[in-house]
């Protein structure tokens, strides 16, 4: 399963809650990154924090399912291949929390992947959450908001859209989506109404 959405949408928050309460055998894929850890982030749990050289060596060794430079600031992010293959082979549901382009790269190889796009409902709420999180300086925050505008355009390519209004409700909705696939693994994905950033239908 892939979970995408703009930075600040609440992906990490929802995944943490999902892992704690969902009865399915979920496993979170821990991405590698060259960005520095935020206060409280733990190597191996939140990310594998690598130097540029370490990341490049793994990239050359084809150790990533997908990888890319996100936000154009020289910080690379990638999905390590081996833990994902191991999890899938063991019958686990592997969650990739990755950006829209990473998702497109994975979909090319695995068209059967469940894709969920999370957003907080409005630009104002996204900005408020990023400010409340307080992990970016003003410049980085502005860039994330700009990137968010671009990322929102990928929303229609996802099988499901979940608005993270309240954590409880949004996690419950993701759980129900996953359980519907657990009940009928071969079912075609249910199309969800395509909504734009402000929750209006694209064709409205």
Distance CA 73, CA 71 (A): 6
Q: Does 133 bind ligand ADP (CB under 6 A)?
A: yes
Strand partners, 4: 117
Smallest CA-to-CA distance from 177 within 12, 14, 9, 13 is with: 14
**Interface mask toward ligand 5GP for 87-126; x: CB under 6 A:** ----------xxx--x------------------------
Min dist CB 9 to ligand 5GP, Å, is 8
Q: Which of ligand ADP, ligand 5GP, none sits in contact with 98, Cβ below 5 to 8 A by type?
A: ligand 5GP
CB of 13 to ligand 5GP, least distance (A): 12
Q: Does 132 bind ligand ADP (CB under 6 A)?
A: yes
Q: In the structure encoding, which two tokens stand for residue 97, read together?
A: 């929390």
Task: Say whether residue 166 binds ligand ADP (CB under 6 A).
Answer: yes
Q: How far is Cα 177 from Cα 197, in angstroms, rounded to an integer?
A: 21
Using the minimum distance from each CB to ligand 5GP, give the nearer residue, 5 or 163: 5
Q: Which is nearer to ligand 5GP, 128 or 182 (CB)?
A: 128
The answer to whether residue 79 forms part of the interface with ligand 5GP (CB under 6 A) is: yes
C-alpha span between 137 and 119 (Å, rounded): 22
d(CA 167, CA 129): 13
Q: Report if residue 58 touches ligand 5GP, rule: CB under 6 A.
A: no
Which residue has the CB atom at the shortest distance from ligand 5GP?
102
Nearest to 17 by CA among 170, 177, 179: 170
Is the CB of residue 119 less than 8 Å from the CB of residue 173? no
In the complex, what is the shortest distance from the CB of residue 77 to ligand 5GP, in angstroms, rounded to a whole number? 4
């Amino acid at each position: 399963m892939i979970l995408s959405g703009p930075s600040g949408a609440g992906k990490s928050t929802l995944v943490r809650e999902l892992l704690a309460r969902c009865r399915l055998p979920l496993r979170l894929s821990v991405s590698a990154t060259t960005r520095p850890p935020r206060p409280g982030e733990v190597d191996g749990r939140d990310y594998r924090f690598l130097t540029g050289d370490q990341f490049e060596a793994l990239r050359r060794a084809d150790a990533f399912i997908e990888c890319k430079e996100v936000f154009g600031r020289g910080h690379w992010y990638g999905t390590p291949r081996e833990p994902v293959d191991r999890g899938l082979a063991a019958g686990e549901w592997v969650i990739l929390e990755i950006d829209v382009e990473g998702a497109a790269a994975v979909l090319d190889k695995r068209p059967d992947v469940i894709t969920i796009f999370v957003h907080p409902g409005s630009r104002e709420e996204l900005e408020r959450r990023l400010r409340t999180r307080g992990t970016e300086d003003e410049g980085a925050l502005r860039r994330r908001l700009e990137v968010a505008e671009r990322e929102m355009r990928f929303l229609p390519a996802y099988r499901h859209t979940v608005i993270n209004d309240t954590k409880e409700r949004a996690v419950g909705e993701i759980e129900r989506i996953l359980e519907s696939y657990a009940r009928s693994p071969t079912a075609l994905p249910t199309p969800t109404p395509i909504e734009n950033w402000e929750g209006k239908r694209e064709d409205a």
